[in-house]
Each structure stands twice: as structure tokens, then as C-alpha cells.
Amino acid sequence: MVCVEITSSAIATAIIGSFTHISGFFIGPIAGVFADRSKNPKSLFSWILRFNTLILLIMVVCIYILSNEFEIFAVFVLVAIREISFDLLYPVQTRIIPLIVPKDGVTKLLGYRSDSSNIASILGNAISGFVISLVCIIGGFILNSITFFLSSILISLLKLLQTPQNSKEKDLNNGDDQNLENKRMKIKKEILEGGRILWNNTL
């Protein structure tokens, strides 16, 4: 909507909309491996949300102080960065879930996450238009940044039931078993495997 107001062009909106798919395709496999090997996924999750809080506030500043041409360029760059960081959220969530519930509750919590995501998507799209009409685009950005910040605080309060360790992390920290080159090859292999899975699911 920001792009339409600034440029009166649906192409700009389409470009921004494409960032989600482009970023997911190229960054998704890397994000999955990075999240899986994170030693502190809860902290990573919290900082991703805070980072998005900052991105939205920077967007507000850019819209206020930059000319139209630089403004839309800044929005393009910031949205692209935001989408890249968002690609980490889903794998980090998946990484955290087994750490906050017993093993027999993982499947149920994954189901709850799927249901809540679908409900939030439906309600969010329905309500967002009314909210933006009341508080304008800038107000929408600010409200969104507040929700990200509050979410980051709530995530930081989560109590983990177990230490976030797995065999892959142990392999990375075990210099006696494998040399650095082998470790890099394992990471590369996991990234490529993630890319193949993403490609197959997309098709």
C-alpha cells in the first residue's frame, strides 16, 4: 500500500510482494541449517523480532524525511532485509518447540501453531485494512513494530525444558573427530538438501 501511495504503480507493489517468494527460495535452505545449529534459538528468535521492530521504525523515518524516489528505494531495501530475517523465524520456531514441551506434546503444539498461523492470516488480512484506514500507513508500521517488540519480550521469558543441543552441534564442536573442511562440507550438504526439499515442495 505504501508503494501504491508513493508511485501510483501496481508494479512496485508486485515487486515487494515477490520478495517473500524470492527470499524464501534462496535464503530458506540456509536459514534452516543456521537455525538448526543455533546454540541459543530462544535468544535468536527474540533478536529477530527486535530487529524487525527496528526495521519498521526505520521505514517510518524514511517515509518522513526522504524524497519520493529515495523513499521507495529505501522501502524496497528494508522490506528485502525484513523478508530475509523472516525466513529465519519459521525454522527457529521449529527448533524451539521440542525445547519447551515434552516429546509427546510436540505434535500437538505444531498443530496449534499451524491453526493459529492460519487464523492470524485470515483475521489479519481482514482487519488490517480497517486499522490502516484509522491510523494510516505510519500508524500501521508503528503498531506492527510494537507487536514485534512485545513478542520478543514474551519469547525471552520462555522456560526451556531441555538444553538446545543436538548431534549436529556436537559434531561441529568436536575437533578430534572431523577437521574443519569436513564440517564445512556437512553444512554445504545440508543447505543443498534443504534447497532440494524446498524446490520439490514448491513444484
Which cell goes with 37? 545449529
What is the model's pLDDT at position 150? 93
Please say if the pLDDT value at position 169 is more than 50: no
User: What pTM, to 2 d.p., does this model score?
Assistant: 0.67
Please say if the pLDDT value at position 176 is more than 50: no
Collect contacts of 138-146 with beta carbons under 8 A, ≥24 apart.
138/60, 138/63, 138/64, 141/56, 141/57, 141/59, 141/60, 142/56, 142/57, 142/60, 144/56, 145/52, 145/53, 145/54, 145/56, 145/57, 146/53
pLDDT class for 194, splitting at 50, 70, 90? Answer: low
Q: What is the CA radius of gyration of the chain?
A: 19
